[in-house]
Amino acid sequence: MLQKPKSVKLRALRSPRKFGVAGRSCQEVLRKGCLRFQLPERGSRLCLYEDGTELTEDYFPSVPDNAELVLLTSGQAWQGYVSDIGRFLSAFHEPHAGLVQAAQQLLCDEQAPQRQRLLADLLHNVSQNIAAETRAEDPPWFEGLESRFQNKSGYLRYSCESRIRSYLREVSSYPSLVGAEAQEEFLRVLSSMCQKLRSVQYNGSYFDRGAKGGGRLCTPEGWFSCQGPFDMDSCLSRHSINPYSNRESRILFSTWNLDHIIEKKRTVIPTLVEAIKEQDGREVDWEYFYGLLFTSENLKLVHIVCHKKTIHKLNCDPNRIYKPQPRLKRKRPVRKR
Protein backbone atom coordinates (compact mmCIF):
# COMPACT_ATOMS: atom_id res chain seq x y z
CA MET A 1 0.00 0.00 0.00
CA LEU A 2 1.29 3.45 -0.94
CA GLN A 3 2.08 6.00 1.76
CA LYS A 4 0.63 8.82 -0.34
CA PRO A 5 -2.72 8.45 -2.17
CA LYS A 6 -2.52 8.23 -5.97
CA SER A 7 -5.00 10.37 -7.91
CA VAL A 8 -6.60 8.93 -11.06
CA LYS A 9 -9.41 9.78 -13.47
CA LEU A 10 -12.04 7.07 -13.47
CA ARG A 11 -14.82 6.31 -15.91
CA ALA A 12 -17.27 3.44 -16.21
CA LEU A 13 -17.84 1.65 -19.50
CA ARG A 14 -21.40 2.80 -20.13
CA SER A 15 -21.38 6.10 -18.27
CA PRO A 16 -20.71 9.56 -19.74
CA ARG A 17 -19.45 10.76 -16.34
CA LYS A 18 -15.86 10.79 -15.11
CA PHE A 19 -14.63 11.17 -11.52
CA GLY A 20 -11.34 12.01 -9.88
CA VAL A 21 -10.54 9.33 -7.32
CA ALA A 22 -7.59 8.93 -4.96
CA GLY A 23 -6.43 5.81 -3.18
CA ARG A 24 -3.39 4.10 -1.70
CA SER A 25 -4.14 0.78 -3.36
CA CYS A 26 -5.84 -0.65 -6.42
CA GLN A 27 -8.57 -2.12 -4.23
CA GLU A 28 -9.27 1.23 -2.56
CA VAL A 29 -9.67 2.97 -5.92
CA LEU A 30 -11.90 0.15 -7.12
CA ARG A 31 -14.07 0.38 -4.01
CA LYS A 32 -14.45 4.15 -4.31
CA GLY A 33 -15.17 3.90 -8.02
CA CYS A 34 -17.91 1.33 -7.54
CA LEU A 35 -19.43 3.58 -4.90
CA ARG A 36 -19.34 6.60 -7.22
CA PHE A 37 -20.87 4.78 -10.18
CA GLN A 38 -23.18 2.66 -8.00
CA LEU A 39 -21.80 -0.59 -9.38
CA PRO A 40 -21.26 -3.91 -7.59
CA GLU A 41 -17.73 -4.31 -6.29
CA ARG A 42 -17.76 -8.06 -6.65
CA GLY A 43 -16.41 -9.11 -10.06
CA SER A 44 -15.39 -5.55 -10.96
CA ARG A 45 -11.85 -4.57 -11.98
CA LEU A 46 -9.80 -1.63 -13.23
CA CYS A 47 -7.81 -1.26 -16.45
CA LEU A 48 -5.88 1.46 -18.25
CA TYR A 49 -7.95 3.47 -20.70
CA GLU A 50 -5.22 3.63 -23.35
CA ASP A 51 -4.48 -0.05 -23.95
CA GLY A 52 -6.81 -2.06 -21.70
CA THR A 53 -4.08 -3.36 -19.36
CA GLU A 54 -5.77 -4.76 -16.26
CA LEU A 55 -4.48 -3.31 -13.00
CA THR A 56 -3.15 -5.43 -10.16
CA GLU A 57 -1.87 -4.40 -6.73
CA ASP A 58 1.72 -5.00 -7.93
CA TYR A 59 1.26 -2.81 -11.00
CA PHE A 60 -0.70 -0.04 -9.29
CA PRO A 61 2.36 1.86 -7.87
CA SER A 62 3.78 2.29 -11.41
CA VAL A 63 0.60 3.95 -12.72
CA PRO A 64 1.27 7.70 -13.15
CA ASP A 65 -0.80 10.27 -11.32
CA ASN A 66 -3.92 11.42 -13.17
CA ALA A 67 -3.88 8.32 -15.36
CA GLU A 68 -7.23 7.51 -16.90
CA LEU A 69 -8.77 4.22 -15.82
CA VAL A 70 -11.86 2.31 -16.87
CA LEU A 71 -14.00 0.48 -14.32
CA LEU A 72 -15.35 -2.79 -15.71
CA THR A 73 -18.00 -5.00 -14.16
CA SER A 74 -18.26 -8.77 -14.59
CA GLY A 75 -18.52 -9.74 -18.27
CA GLN A 76 -17.35 -6.38 -19.65
CA ALA A 77 -14.20 -5.96 -21.76
CA TRP A 78 -12.07 -3.01 -22.86
CA GLN A 79 -9.44 -3.10 -25.62
CA GLY A 80 -8.11 0.41 -25.10
CA TYR A 81 -9.04 3.68 -26.76
CA VAL A 82 -9.50 1.80 -30.05
CA SER A 83 -12.80 0.66 -28.52
CA ASP A 84 -13.89 4.31 -28.57
CA ILE A 85 -12.87 4.53 -32.21
CA GLY A 86 -15.00 1.51 -33.00
CA ARG A 87 -18.05 3.29 -31.67
CA PHE A 88 -17.30 6.29 -33.91
CA LEU A 89 -16.83 4.06 -36.97
CA SER A 90 -20.19 2.37 -36.39
CA ALA A 91 -21.83 5.78 -36.77
CA PHE A 92 -20.03 6.88 -39.93
CA HIS A 93 -22.85 5.86 -42.23
CA GLU A 94 -25.11 8.40 -40.49
CA PRO A 95 -22.85 11.23 -39.26
CA HIS A 96 -24.62 13.88 -37.21
CA ALA A 97 -23.82 17.00 -35.25
CA GLY A 98 -23.96 15.19 -31.92
CA LEU A 99 -21.23 12.78 -32.99
CA VAL A 100 -18.94 15.59 -34.13
CA GLN A 101 -19.58 17.55 -30.95
CA ALA A 102 -18.80 14.52 -28.78
CA ALA A 103 -15.54 13.87 -30.60
CA GLN A 104 -14.52 17.52 -30.34
CA GLN A 105 -15.19 17.43 -26.61
CA LEU A 106 -12.98 14.36 -26.25
CA LEU A 107 -10.19 16.15 -28.10
CA CYS A 108 -10.47 19.12 -25.76
CA ASP A 109 -10.58 17.05 -22.59
CA GLU A 110 -7.84 14.52 -23.23
CA GLN A 111 -4.10 14.97 -23.20
CA ALA A 112 -3.10 11.57 -24.67
CA PRO A 113 -1.41 12.42 -28.03
CA GLN A 114 -2.16 9.01 -29.56
CA ARG A 115 -5.86 9.32 -28.85
CA GLN A 116 -5.94 12.88 -30.12
CA ARG A 117 -4.39 11.78 -33.41
CA LEU A 118 -7.00 9.10 -33.99
CA LEU A 119 -9.93 11.31 -33.06
CA ALA A 120 -8.58 14.10 -35.25
CA ASP A 121 -8.47 11.65 -38.17
CA LEU A 122 -12.06 10.68 -37.47
CA LEU A 123 -13.28 14.28 -37.25
CA HIS A 124 -11.52 15.08 -40.51
CA ASN A 125 -13.42 12.34 -42.28
CA VAL A 126 -16.75 12.11 -40.47
CA SER A 127 -18.39 14.79 -42.62
CA GLN A 128 -17.12 13.20 -45.82
CA ASN A 129 -19.18 10.99 -48.10
CA ILE A 130 -17.63 7.75 -46.84
CA ALA A 131 -20.70 5.58 -47.37
CA ALA A 132 -20.99 6.61 -51.04
CA GLU A 133 -19.67 3.98 -53.43
CA THR A 134 -20.47 4.97 -57.03
CA ARG A 135 -19.32 7.80 -59.27
CA ALA A 136 -22.87 9.16 -59.33
CA GLU A 137 -22.99 9.31 -55.51
CA ASP A 138 -19.63 11.05 -55.05
CA PRO A 139 -18.36 12.67 -58.29
CA PRO A 140 -15.49 14.66 -56.64
CA TRP A 141 -13.88 11.40 -55.41
CA PHE A 142 -13.41 10.23 -59.02
CA GLU A 143 -11.83 13.43 -60.35
CA GLY A 144 -8.70 12.56 -62.34
CA LEU A 145 -9.63 8.87 -62.76
CA GLU A 146 -10.49 7.15 -66.02
CA SER A 147 -14.18 6.85 -66.83
CA ARG A 148 -14.00 3.04 -66.65
CA PHE A 149 -13.86 3.28 -62.85
CA GLN A 150 -17.49 3.55 -61.71
CA ASN A 151 -17.17 2.61 -58.02
CA LYS A 152 -14.64 3.22 -55.26
CA SER A 153 -14.06 -0.43 -54.36
CA GLY A 154 -13.38 -1.26 -57.99
CA TYR A 155 -10.71 1.41 -58.28
CA LEU A 156 -9.02 0.45 -55.01
CA ARG A 157 -9.03 -3.22 -56.03
CA TYR A 158 -7.30 -2.15 -59.24
CA SER A 159 -4.78 -0.14 -57.20
CA CYS A 160 -3.89 -3.18 -55.12
CA GLU A 161 -3.77 -5.49 -58.14
CA SER A 162 -1.36 -3.08 -59.82
CA ARG A 163 1.04 -3.31 -56.89
CA ILE A 164 0.91 -7.11 -56.86
CA ARG A 165 1.40 -7.25 -60.64
CA SER A 166 4.51 -5.08 -60.29
CA TYR A 167 5.95 -7.64 -57.85
CA LEU A 168 5.21 -10.40 -60.35
CA ARG A 169 6.98 -8.49 -63.13
CA GLU A 170 9.99 -8.13 -60.88
CA VAL A 171 10.16 -11.89 -60.23
CA SER A 172 9.69 -12.53 -63.96
CA SER A 173 12.91 -10.64 -64.74
CA TYR A 174 15.09 -13.19 -62.93
CA PRO A 175 15.19 -16.34 -65.17
CA SER A 176 18.53 -15.33 -66.68
CA LEU A 177 20.16 -15.43 -63.23
CA VAL A 178 19.50 -19.13 -62.64
CA GLY A 179 21.49 -20.39 -65.62
CA ALA A 180 20.34 -22.33 -68.66
CA GLU A 181 19.93 -25.64 -66.84
CA ALA A 182 17.58 -24.27 -64.17
CA GLN A 183 15.60 -21.86 -66.35
CA GLU A 184 12.95 -24.46 -67.18
CA GLU A 185 12.29 -25.11 -63.49
CA PHE A 186 12.20 -21.37 -62.72
CA LEU A 187 9.65 -20.80 -65.49
CA ARG A 188 7.56 -23.71 -64.15
CA VAL A 189 7.52 -22.13 -60.68
CA LEU A 190 6.72 -18.74 -62.17
CA SER A 191 3.85 -20.21 -64.21
CA SER A 192 2.36 -21.81 -61.08
CA MET A 193 2.50 -18.48 -59.27
CA CYS A 194 0.84 -16.69 -62.21
CA GLN A 195 -2.02 -19.18 -62.28
CA LYS A 196 -2.54 -18.82 -58.54
CA LEU A 197 -2.57 -15.02 -58.76
CA ARG A 198 -5.07 -15.04 -61.60
CA SER A 199 -7.37 -17.34 -59.62
CA VAL A 200 -7.46 -14.86 -56.69
CA GLN A 201 -7.55 -11.77 -58.95
CA TYR A 202 -4.10 -10.66 -57.81
CA ASN A 203 -5.32 -10.26 -54.21
CA GLY A 204 -7.09 -7.03 -55.09
CA SER A 205 -9.51 -7.75 -52.25
CA TYR A 206 -6.92 -6.44 -49.77
CA PHE A 207 -8.06 -2.87 -50.56
CA ASP A 208 -11.75 -3.70 -51.11
CA ARG A 209 -13.91 -2.83 -48.11
CA GLY A 210 -16.67 -5.02 -49.53
CA ALA A 211 -14.53 -8.16 -49.44
CA LYS A 212 -14.82 -10.79 -46.72
CA GLY A 213 -13.06 -10.03 -43.44
CA GLY A 214 -10.09 -12.34 -44.00
CA GLY A 215 -9.54 -11.04 -47.51
CA ARG A 216 -9.19 -7.33 -46.79
CA LEU A 217 -6.81 -5.11 -44.83
CA CYS A 218 -9.44 -2.54 -43.82
CA THR A 219 -12.62 -2.25 -41.78
CA PRO A 220 -16.01 -2.62 -43.51
CA GLU A 221 -16.11 1.20 -43.60
CA GLY A 222 -12.78 1.37 -45.43
CA TRP A 223 -10.38 2.37 -42.62
CA PHE A 224 -6.77 1.22 -42.97
CA SER A 225 -4.17 1.32 -40.18
CA CYS A 226 -0.40 1.27 -40.48
CA GLN A 227 1.00 -2.20 -39.76
CA GLY A 228 4.62 -1.17 -39.33
CA PRO A 229 7.42 -0.62 -38.58
CA PHE A 230 8.16 -4.31 -38.24
CA ASP A 231 10.76 -4.09 -35.46
CA MET A 232 8.48 -2.04 -33.18
CA ASP A 233 4.94 -2.18 -31.88
CA SER A 234 2.29 -1.54 -34.50
CA CYS A 235 1.79 2.15 -35.13
CA LEU A 236 -1.99 1.73 -35.32
CA SER A 237 -2.21 4.53 -32.80
CA ARG A 238 -0.27 6.95 -34.99
CA HIS A 239 -1.48 6.52 -38.57
CA SER A 240 -4.85 5.62 -40.05
CA ILE A 241 -6.60 6.59 -43.27
CA ASN A 242 -9.83 6.03 -45.16
CA PRO A 243 -9.21 6.37 -48.91
CA TYR A 244 -12.97 5.93 -49.49
CA SER A 245 -13.72 9.25 -47.77
CA ASN A 246 -12.54 11.90 -50.24
CA ARG A 247 -10.28 12.51 -53.21
CA GLU A 248 -7.41 13.83 -51.07
CA SER A 249 -7.39 10.70 -48.89
CA ARG A 250 -7.50 8.51 -52.00
CA ILE A 251 -4.42 10.26 -53.40
CA LEU A 252 -2.62 10.20 -50.06
CA PHE A 253 -3.30 6.48 -49.68
CA SER A 254 -1.33 5.84 -52.87
CA THR A 255 1.81 6.87 -50.95
CA TRP A 256 1.34 4.05 -48.41
CA ASN A 257 3.51 1.01 -49.10
CA LEU A 258 2.77 -2.69 -49.24
CA ASP A 259 6.09 -3.74 -47.73
CA HIS A 260 7.62 -7.20 -47.51
CA ILE A 261 8.60 -8.12 -43.94
CA ILE A 262 11.13 -10.60 -45.31
CA GLU A 263 12.55 -8.40 -48.02
CA LYS A 264 11.70 -9.22 -51.60
CA LYS A 265 14.85 -8.09 -53.42
CA ARG A 266 17.46 -8.87 -50.79
CA THR A 267 16.08 -12.13 -49.46
CA VAL A 268 13.00 -13.80 -50.96
CA ILE A 269 13.86 -13.73 -54.68
CA PRO A 270 17.57 -14.56 -54.16
CA THR A 271 16.58 -17.48 -51.91
CA LEU A 272 14.15 -18.74 -54.56
CA VAL A 273 16.81 -18.48 -57.27
CA GLU A 274 19.36 -20.33 -55.11
CA ALA A 275 16.81 -23.02 -54.20
CA ILE A 276 16.11 -23.72 -57.86
CA LYS A 277 19.82 -23.88 -58.71
CA GLU A 278 20.61 -26.20 -55.78
CA GLN A 279 17.48 -28.35 -55.65
CA ASP A 280 19.33 -31.61 -56.39
CA GLY A 281 16.25 -33.72 -56.96
CA ARG A 282 14.14 -31.89 -54.38
CA GLU A 283 10.99 -29.99 -55.32
CA VAL A 284 10.92 -26.27 -54.55
CA ASP A 285 7.85 -25.33 -52.51
CA TRP A 286 6.65 -22.55 -54.81
CA GLU A 287 3.54 -21.96 -52.67
CA TYR A 288 5.75 -20.92 -49.75
CA PHE A 289 7.52 -18.34 -51.92
CA TYR A 290 4.19 -17.29 -53.41
CA GLY A 291 2.96 -16.48 -49.89
CA LEU A 292 6.06 -14.41 -49.15
CA LEU A 293 5.92 -12.47 -52.40
CA PHE A 294 2.24 -11.82 -52.95
CA THR A 295 0.13 -12.31 -49.82
CA SER A 296 -0.49 -10.72 -46.44
CA GLU A 297 1.54 -13.55 -44.90
CA ASN A 298 4.57 -11.35 -45.63
CA LEU A 299 3.03 -8.11 -46.96
CA LYS A 300 2.15 -5.33 -44.51
CA LEU A 301 0.56 -1.96 -45.23
CA VAL A 302 2.89 0.79 -44.01
CA HIS A 303 2.52 4.57 -43.81
CA ILE A 304 5.22 6.40 -45.75
CA VAL A 305 6.69 7.82 -42.52
CA CYS A 306 7.14 4.31 -41.11
CA HIS A 307 8.53 2.89 -44.34
CA LYS A 308 12.09 1.77 -43.66
CA LYS A 309 14.82 1.35 -46.22
CA THR A 310 17.04 -0.52 -43.79
CA ILE A 311 17.64 -4.26 -43.96
CA HIS A 312 15.04 -6.12 -41.92
CA LYS A 313 17.50 -8.97 -41.24
CA LEU A 314 14.85 -11.66 -41.60
CA ASN A 315 15.43 -14.82 -43.60
CA CYS A 316 13.27 -17.40 -45.30
CA ASP A 317 12.43 -20.51 -43.31
CA PRO A 318 14.96 -23.14 -44.43
CA ASN A 319 12.50 -25.91 -43.53
CA ARG A 320 9.93 -24.63 -46.00
CA ILE A 321 12.06 -23.96 -49.07
CA TYR A 322 11.58 -27.49 -50.42
CA LYS A 323 8.54 -29.71 -50.20
CA PRO A 324 8.87 -32.57 -47.71
CA GLN A 325 10.08 -35.72 -49.36
CA PRO A 326 7.83 -38.74 -48.87
CA ARG A 327 9.24 -41.38 -46.58
CA LEU A 328 9.89 -44.74 -48.13
CA LYS A 329 8.02 -47.56 -46.45
CA ARG A 330 10.23 -50.32 -45.26
CA LYS A 331 9.32 -53.78 -46.49
CA ARG A 332 8.64 -56.18 -43.71
CA PRO A 333 10.55 -59.45 -43.94
CA VAL A 334 8.44 -62.45 -44.90
CA ARG A 335 7.95 -64.75 -41.97
CA LYS A 336 8.78 -68.39 -42.51
CA ARG A 337 6.02 -70.80 -41.72
Query: Which of 240, 238, 241 lies closest to 114 in space, CA to CA?
Result: 238
Cα(262)–Cα(269) distance, integer angstroms: 10
Mean pLDDT of the chain: 82
What DSSP string describes 15-43? -S-EEEEEESSHHHHHHHHHHHHT--STT
The full set of domains in the chain, from first to last, is 6-83 (3.10.20.10), 94-126 (no CATH), 152-306 (no CATH)
Judge contact between 29 and 8, C-beta under 8 A. yes
Q: pLDDT tens for residues 217-270?
A: 999 999 998 887 655 444 444 578 899 998 988 998 999 999 999 999 999 999
Cα(224)–Cα(240) distance, rounded to whole angstroms? 6
pLDDT at 124: 57
Percent of the chain's residues with pLDDT above 70: 77
Q: Residues 4-30, buried b or exposed e (16+ Cβ, 10 A)? A: eebebbbbbeeeeeebebebeebebbb
CA Rg, the chain, in Å?
A: 27
Dist CA 146 CA 139 (whole Å) = 12
pLDDT in tens, 296-328: 999 999 887 776 544 567 899 999 999 987 765
